[in-house]
Structure 1
Amino acid sequence: MKILVTGANGFLGKNLIAELRNQEFNNIFSFDLDTPDEDLDRFCKEADFVFHLAGINRPEVTEEFMEGNYGFTSVLLNLLKKHKNKCPIMISSSIQASLDNPYGKSKRAGEKLLEEYYIEVDTPVYIYRFSNLYGKWSRPNYNTVVATFCYNIARGEEVIVNDSDVEIELCYIDDVVKELVNCLKGNPTKDNGFYHVPEVDKVTVGTLKSLIEGFKSSRDTLTVPKLDNRLEKNLYSTYLSFLPEEDFSYKLKMNVDDRGSFTEFLKTNDRGQVSINISKAGITKGNHWHHTKNEKFLVVSGTGVIRFRKIDTEEVIEYFVSGDKLEVVDIPVGYTHNIENLGDSDMVTVMWVNEPFDANSPDTYFMEV
């Protein structure tokens, strides 16, 4: 199947082409501003499906809206008609096509061309009215406010919001690409005369700014966003794609003493905390118990033993652990416990606890095993 993608180097085009190749659609005709006209002519002759994504978002002069969003669409359709190619065509429009502004008018004009083309040629036409798209490979100060916020906040630059209460509708790029692939395969989503992406989220500009600022500060607080919330999950992925390459890593605070070290790694309000514990040879750590706090220990390097004793009994239970055979050990409440390094080198343990540490309510009571 030969697929023509206009606007191939743009935000949506890059993401769509990457996924088409993932799904082994390898015969892709990529068209953008620097593609020779004769190539476009050949593409329109041979294409079996057209994704028309090319358009103008932020021109230098208003007239470029109509030229880019209407004029090129006309050129494309005329080439298809020239070669009597009745392949299906999808066009990228906008929810602003219903608004009385230069951009919206140009998008509506492009839609009308497709509607007339459908009547004249009698071939499948898919007009998609997209919300504000966001995701990796978008351009700050061009594609979406999300890209601008992510780019500036990741670099510590100022973000100005004129009205925090303004609500915007956002649509994640992966959901858009999934819908377009469904369209290619003959299963598009249609509503009120236009095709659309079912997954959209609404958020105020002020909340959007606060969320992205929280992503930046999460390196200090060690918290991660609520990943069961679709918008937060997708925004966080988008934010990370805007990190400067020299800032991909960040240091953690290691609490070091002569026994080894203890380092907090990740925290959540609802899923607990993950830490890394390093014990030197012969060292025993722990000897405490909890009322409600529960933990999971996973030794990933070295060898050791985890011992338990129910606080009102004398019996000691032992679990021998090793990085050579990964095994999670649950630490139940009401049992005093410790972990001893039995090897000659450092023992590394990944520790999960069901709640972030609270110095005002540690729920930790010393008692020898």
Structure 2
Amino acid sequence: MSKRRVAVTGGFGFLGWHTACRLRALHDMQPVRLGREAFADPARLASALEGVDAVLHIAGVNRAATVKEVEQGNIAIAGALAQALNAIGQPVDVVYANSVQAEVDNPYGRGKARAGEILGEVVRAAGGRFADLLLPNLFGEHGRPAYNSFVATFADDVISGRTPTVTNDRKIRLLHAQDAARALIGALGFDGRQVVEADSIGIGEVLTCFEEFHELYAQRGEVPDISTAMRRNLFNTYRAAAFPTMWPISPSVHSDNRGRLFETVRVHGGTGMAFMSTTLPGEKRGEHYHLHKVERFFVVRGEAEIELRRLFHDEVVRFRLSGDQPSFVDMPTLWVHNIRNVGDSELVTMFWADKLLDVTSPDQYPATVHQETTA
């Protein structure tokens, strides 16, 4: 994709955040992220779009007090964006994060469908291209329980010790938010409608996966079978919901006259690789993030501080680990992280990742924990 100035409506929401992260990681872009405040003021919205040549329109209403508010809310948001695009008076390409529900006669579907009609007319009349993408059910890291997806609700329930009830078990199409973001970005410059395909999985199967993950991971720190893309995406969704409260984990240490022995990683299926590092006092490693990789930092000897910051957020989470009590922390996806030697002696750390290193596509993107990255 050529370098463009891109705005993301709903840029602070679930899919908007995932899309901004992907633009930053793979396209070196800092998009203009537009939230509720921009849509509350027509002049402010038009001003924010000055100089933008493409818009990924993700903002919408999923839940409201009444179904009428859901329907009308999506239409109103599209109308506000259309008015702003008219005001700037230049061609702008728009990719619309529509829903497969747009082909269904229900309040949400009617609202999404009408929103697409409003935007398509305005964009094309001004000479821009309008891509209308029909997305299935979405899930992924940092979805809001009881709002974005039943997947987020199941993860939160299992982590909190609750047992969800599946009343109408059936297979549905589920798409990870990063795959949805890839489709949206890839549609820039396209004109027309596309149905975004996704894998099918049973609702009850999702719950079973989370219960399996919880038993292996939360209780013992063992990595479950994540040999398929769906299982790994569900696992990363679970890990995001559990972070940071379950960390660090200290395994059982077995000592005798020869020294100490402890497990660092136990994996149920799939590939992986482990490596060691030594770090001198005051030195730091890391300062990057991953889109999909599962990565573990295990402090074997010395004193370490691990810092993490979720992309496009300010808060920094810190953990102190010591070789006196060997412990580990797993790095959540889409969080910038580092590890620093804060002791007086050499730091020995074991690292494990779930995939063998591919130097052509390492899934590792540079960023600093203490550098604000919001646009």
TM-score by length of 2: 0.65
Deviation of the 1:243 alpha carbon: 0.7
CA contact (8 A) 1:6 1:31 kept: yes
Aligned counterpart, 1:31: 34
Aligned counterpart, 1:157: 162
Aligned counterpart, 1:86: 91
Give structure 2 stretches of 5+ with no counterpart: 275-299, 302-347, 353-375
Give, as a single letter, the amino acid of the residue that structure 2 aligns with 1:235. L
Output the CA distance in 2 between the equivalents of 1:48 and 1:244: 37
Aligned counterpart, 2:13: 10
Length, aligned pairs only: 273
Deviation of the 1:5 alpha carbon: 1.5
Output the CA distance in 2 between the equivalents of 1:119 and 1:126: 10
Larger RCO: 1 or 2 (CA < 8 Å, sep 6+): 2
Output the CA distance in 2 between the equivalents of 1:218 and 1:179: 33
CA contact (8 A) 1:44 1:85 kept: no
CA contact (8 A) 1:264 1:274 kept: no
Are 1:166 and 2:170 an aligned pair? yes
CA deviation string 1:21-57 (max 9, x = no partner): 333223x322211236232021234321111111000
Are 1:19 and 2:18 an aligned pair? no
| 3-state DSSP of counterpart to 1:8 | coil
2:107 to 89, 92, 102: 102
Aligned counterpart, 1:217: 215
Give, as a single letter, the amino acid of the residue that structure 1 aligns with 2:226. L
CA contact (8 A) 1:97 1:103 kept: yes
Are 1:123 and 2:128 an aligned pair? yes
| 3-state DSSP of counterpart to 1:46 | coil
Give structure 1 stretches of 5+ with no counterpart: 276-299, 302-347, 353-369
Would the alpha carbon gap of residues 263 and 24 (structure 1) be closer, same or farther in structure 2, given more than 3 Å must change? same
Structure 2 counterparts to residues 307-326 of structure 1, below 5 A: none
CA deviation string 1:109-129 (max 9, x = no partner): 112223433553342001111
TM-score by length of 1: 0.66
Would the alpha carbon gap of residues 70 and 218 (structure 1) be closer, same or farther in structure 2, given more than 3 Å must change? same
Deviation of the 1:239 alpha carbon: 0.7
CA deviation string 1:94-135 (max 9, x = no partner): 111111211111111112223433553342001111111111
Aligned counterpart, 1:366: none
Structure 2 counterparts to residues 279-358 of structure 1, below 5 A: none
CA contact (8 A) 2:5 2:54 kept: yes
| 3-state DSSP of counterpart to 1:242 | helix
CA contact (8 A) 1:3 1:50 kept: yes
Would the alpha carbon gap of residues 11 and 97 (structure 1) be closer, same or farther in structure 2, given more than 3 Å must change? same
Aligned counterpart, 1:137: 142
Are 1:175 and 2:179 an aligned pair? yes
Give, as a single letter, the amino acid of the residue that structure 1 aligns with 2:80. V
Would the alpha carbon gap of residues 270 and 171 (structure 1) be closer, same or farther in structure 2, given more than 3 Å must change? closer
Output the CA distance in 2 between the equivalents of 1:271 and 1:21: 29
2:71 to 56, 66, 71: 66
Deviation of the 1:58 alpha carbon: 0.7
Q: Which has the larger radius of gyration?
A: 1
Give, as a single letter, the amino acid of the residue that structure 1 aligns with 2:176. Y
Output the CA distance in 2 between the equivalents of 1:271 and 1:82: 53
User: Structure 1 vs Structure 2: percent identity of aligned residues?
Assistant: 27
Output the CA distance in 2 between the equivalents of 1:166 and 1:230: 20
Output the CA distance in 2 between the equivalents of 1:93 and 1:269: 37
Would the alpha carbon gap of residues 183 and 259 (structure 1) be closer, same or farther in structure 2, given more than 3 Å must change? same
CA contact (8 A) 2:145 2:153 kept: yes
Are 1:245 and 2:231 an aligned pair? no
Output the CA distance in 2 between the equivalents of 1:45 and 1:140: 35
Deviation of the 1:61 alpha carbon: 1.6
CA contact (8 A) 2:97 2:134 kept: yes
Deviation of the 1:222 alpha carbon: 5.4
Output the CA distance in 2 between the equivalents of 1:103 and 1:15: 22
Give, as a single letter, the amino acid of the residue that structure 2 aligns with 1:227. I
| 3-state DSSP of counterpart to 1:91 | strand
Aligned counterpart, 2:229: 230
